[in-house]
Structure 1
Amino acid sequence: NTAPRALSQSLTLKMNITAEGFEIRSVWDCRAEIKNPVLRVGENGETEFSGMLCGCVYGKNADGSPFCLEKQEAFRQALSSSDLNENTAAQFAAKITSADFSIKSDGAVEISAITELCGVLHDVVAAETVSEVTVREDKPKAGNDEFALRICYTDEKSDCWSIAKAYNTTVKALMEENDITDEQAALSGMIIIPTV
């Protein structure tokens, strides 16, 4: 199946936040966010959603002082989707639509974050794009005896590949003549174009 498929799923992520050195009397609010979300096929073939869950709790301790507790922890959760395999690329977004809390019997605050996943799944297919290359020996490249080199003024949009193509030279010769170390770097200013 190579047609793009919609991804839409809701799940609940949970984490516990504990207070160190004081007792929680009440909680006013909480929030949660997801960092570095990843969708992948796990070792047993099921689809996994993973990342970092960051939670924050605001409230009042037993002395009446306000507090803010933060925590982040890694999560990994299996999804019910069977549309993902090792040849699938996912373009998706993960958004927490609501976060609720409850105070557990041990004093920890449990945050429950309702998370919506939405996006598109594509199958990645290997394809042969160049099947054959033939050298046209009956049409050799015309030499240029008028000059040994040329000078070119470039802007920031130019790189070695585009200049070599435009002036019918090689990237290697261009880099050697101008002491360029990175063929992908943007070039700016005067460049010497060697004739090859």
Structure 2
Amino acid sequence: MDVSVFDRRETSDQLISAPLYNLIIGLTLCWGFLANWWMVTNIDPRSIAGINPWVFFLGYFASCFAGIYLFRKSDNPLVSFIGYNLVVVPFGLVINLVVAGYNPEVVAEAVRITGFVTVGMMALGTLFPAFFARIGGALTLALLLVIVVELVEIFIFKMHHGILDWIVALIFCGYIGYDWGRANAIPKTVDNAIDSAAALYIDIINLFLRILRILGRNR
């Protein structure tokens, strides 16, 4: 299939009920979060930090892009799930490195806040799908602009303004509502549920990392 996940409007796959569709999205997300939790609790962050930075980043992007390609282009649930895991693993390595620098209480609070915000944004995405559909382009432009500003600040001015973390957190809040609304606008199949969960996973993890950074700075 050449049509990306949220552009799908027709399918030859078997349709499933809305409750089952949402359950599969939830279970797929939980699988990713549990895999990340296992990685954080069982992999020494020093072993990750010891990897050559070029090797790490090349492997990270290669795995992520391969995973995204698989779940975007495939209509086979197993292939999409493999692609999802190719995204979960490198994200888990980054999460491991990041949380190692924070107090466990701060990490737990970031997890809790992220969970509440995610549920809230999904509810808003359900109630106001048309609104979130309209702001999709603005979210993408805003994120690209913030990334450019952050890179300029870090590599040229050697600084970072905390307000950027708040802006990125708000952008990913919007993305959660946006992607949740889009997930419920496409045919409800097992493959589409897994693909939608993969997109939401990326949104949620990015939100978590920014919330963690905000909380850590405030402490």
Name the TM-score, length of structure 2 as normaliser: 0.21
Higher relative contact order, structure no. (Cα contacts within 8 Å, ≥ 6 residues apart): 2
Higher alpha-carbon Rg: 1
Which protein has the bigger helix share? 2
Q: TM-score, normalised on structure 1?
A: 0.23
